[in-house]
A and B are shown apart, each in its own frame.
Chain A
Amino acid sequence: AQKVTQAQTEISVVEKEDVTLDCVYETRDTTYYLFWYKQPPSGELVFLIRRNSFDEQNEISGRYSWNFQKSTSSFNFTITASQVVDSAVYFCALSEANNAGNMLTFGGGTRLMVKP
């Protein structure tokens, strides 16, 4: 069975600080996909990134970066120089390639509060 754990339920930082959101996953499949989504107060989930299990290269997109380590089953997300607009709930998710409907299994989320 697949499982995603986000141990940090809530993080509070001051603007311009760097912050890392942790994600640990469990799966028996060798082929799977990992995701990060942002959920602002409006409710919709905003896609941030998708990685497949064969690509362990770290990725950087502006102030966002992701560290994928299969050895520790982790897919952590770092925001550099945080801004107030980064305040939201962030979800890590996993999808095993062999499931027919591309079902996403989400972690419990991390609420990030960035104070001015």
Chain B
Amino acid sequence: DAGVTQSPTHLIKTRGQQVTLRCSPKSGHDTVSWYQQALGQGPQFIFQYYEEEERQRGNFPDRFSGHQFPNYSSELNVNALLLGDSALYLCASSFGQTYGYTFGSGTRLTVV
């Protein structure tokens, strides 16, 4: 039973570019949350998707957007990349309103 799968595992982008990160939830899960974890800090909530809609959003600018597909997989898009966007981006899946989160290993994004 596969857990949460994130791709790519590592990514290097140039300032000003756009990036798309992908997440496949654990089998049986229908909700996907995204977190940003800067080096040496705790994860910060970006947003959560359920039934293909954004259910809750953290304190992140509109440059961060997302999408959830009918198969429950999700994408995180970041436009106009800044050096400060360099971080580990974690995806967590769960079922409905439960707290049974399963986290992926993340995508390490480096903006140069």
A contact set with B: CB distance below 8 Å: 4, 6, 33, 35, 37, 42-47, 50, 91, 93, 95, 99-109
A110–B11 CA distance with the chains assembled, in angstroms: 27
Contact present for A108 and B105 (CB under 8 Å): no
Query: Which chain B positions have C-beta within 8 A of A105?
Result: 45
A50–B100 CA distance with the chains assembled, in angstroms: 10
Partner of A106, one of B44, B55, B56, B102: B44
B contact set with A: CB distance below 8 Å: 3-4, 33, 35, 40-45, 47-48, 50, 55-56, 58, 88, 90, 92, 94, 97-99, 101-106, 108
Query: Which chain A positions have C-beta within 8 A of B101?
Result: 45, 47, 104
- Decide: A107 near B90, CB < 8 A? Known: A47-B101, A50-B99, A100-B55: no
- Decide: A108 near B41, CB < 8 A? Known: A42-B105, A43-B105, A101-B33: yes
Query: Which chain A positions have C-beta within 8 A of B4?
Result: 44
Contact present for A44 and B103 (CB under 8 Å): yes
Query: Which chain A positions have C-beta within 8 A of B40?
Result: 108-109
Query: Which chain B positions have C-beta within 8 A of A108?
Result: 40-42
Q: List the A residue with the shortest CB-CB distance to B3.
A: A44
Contact present for B42 and A101 (CB under 8 Å): no
Query: Which chain B positions have C-beta within 8 A of A103?
Result: 33, 45, 48, 56, 58
